[in-house]
Every structure is written in structure tokens, then in C-alpha cells.
Amino acid sequence: MGGEPRGLRRDRARLGQVRLFGRKLRRKEEKPHFRFYPGAYAEGGPLVASAKPCDCCGQPCVWEYTGNIYASTDATVCAGCIAAGYLGQIFKDGYSLDDIELETEVGQALSSELFERTPGVACFDPFEWPVADDAPMAFIGYGADFEKDSEAVRATTSAFSKLGWDDQTGPSDYALLFRPLGGGPMRAVIDLD
């Protein structure tokens, strides 16, 4: 009495409307913000509503990471453990959430935040993550999702042109779009399969 039926709770979780009845949030990072991937919770992103237990903290994930973890073992991990940097507790031999390199060197703290505490971006091949103002840029989405955005179209067309593909204009599934953390012009990275 006073609680929701189990079926409704299950449906809420499936729909991404997670509310944990009978317990308080275990930490305020239940849905942490990832500044290098602010859209990580969006539909199609690497974080999905889930009640599976996290192999790192042992609690229900709430937001399970479904992207790649480059490590010697597999694990189910939650957004809170990624953001807090706890994954090193289960991946003793090291790990990364992205198969990328930075376009230019950045400080160790920023590099660690991107590689170890930011959900990975789904891509076909390793790519160089763009850097602006001595910091990794924020991944804002895939080119095909921005087909009506003139800035995204310009950034994508420019990136293809740098590859010698002057006839490729407009949005593309192969374009990864980024924006500097402090704002500024969008840049595209072409990720061919």
C-alpha cells in the first residue's frame, strides 16, 4: 500500500523513467552530468535505464553503461561509478571507455576525465578527439541527427573537404560533431567504417 505495482515500476524503468521505490538515491550522482558527452542519456546513447546490478558498486545501475569498455574483463557498470572514477577498482589492469587519441595533448586531469570518467562515443574506427582551448571538446552528436542545423552541415562539409571529398555535403552518419566546452564553432570528425 502506497507503493506502485511491480509491473508499473518495470515499465517505468524500461521507458527511462526510473524511480526507485523503497530506497533513497545512493548518491547524488545517480544521473551525473558528463561535460564531454552531455547527451549520453539521450535515446540511442550509451546510458540506458536499468535495474541490473553494477559490478563495481553492487547497487542497481539505474543508468547502465552499454558502450564498450576496453579492458581485459567484461563488466556491467553504472553511470555513477563511471563519473566517480570507481572503475579502476574492478579493472585492475587498466581500462578506457574510448578507442581514441586526443588531437593534441591536454593536462592529465582532463585526459583522465575523458578516457576514464566519460561514457564512450560509438564509432566505426579510432579517431582523434578534437581539442579547443587546451581541453577536449564536447561530443554533441552524430551528423545525421543534425540534418537541419546549418552549422552542423557546414562543419560536416568542411571535414569531408579536408579529406578531399568536396562532393560530400550535408549531414552524414559518418560525422561526429563536437563543440568547445565554453561554446564556439562546431567541428566535425569523419569516422568512416
Per-10-residue mean pLDDT for the chain, 193 residues long?
Answer: 38 38 46 95 93 93 94 93 92 90 95 94 92 96 89 91 80 90 94 84
Domain membership of residue 39 (yes or no) is yes
Are residues 176 and 118 part of one domain? no
Task: Please tell me the predicted confidence (pLDDT) of residue 148.
Answer: 87
Count: domains in the chain: 2
Residue ranges making up the domain that contains 117 = 1-123
Strands in the chain per DSSP E: 47-53, 60-65, 101-102, 128-129, 131-132, 135-136, 138-142, 175-179, 187-190
pLDDT for the residue 24:
44
Q: Taking CA 89 as the corner, what is the angle to CA 45 and CA 134, rounded to the nearest 5 degrees?
A: 55
Give the pLDDT score at 25. Answer: 42
Q: Could you tell me if 17 and 56 lie in one domain?
A: yes
Backbone angles phi, psi at 92, to 5 degrees: -60, -30
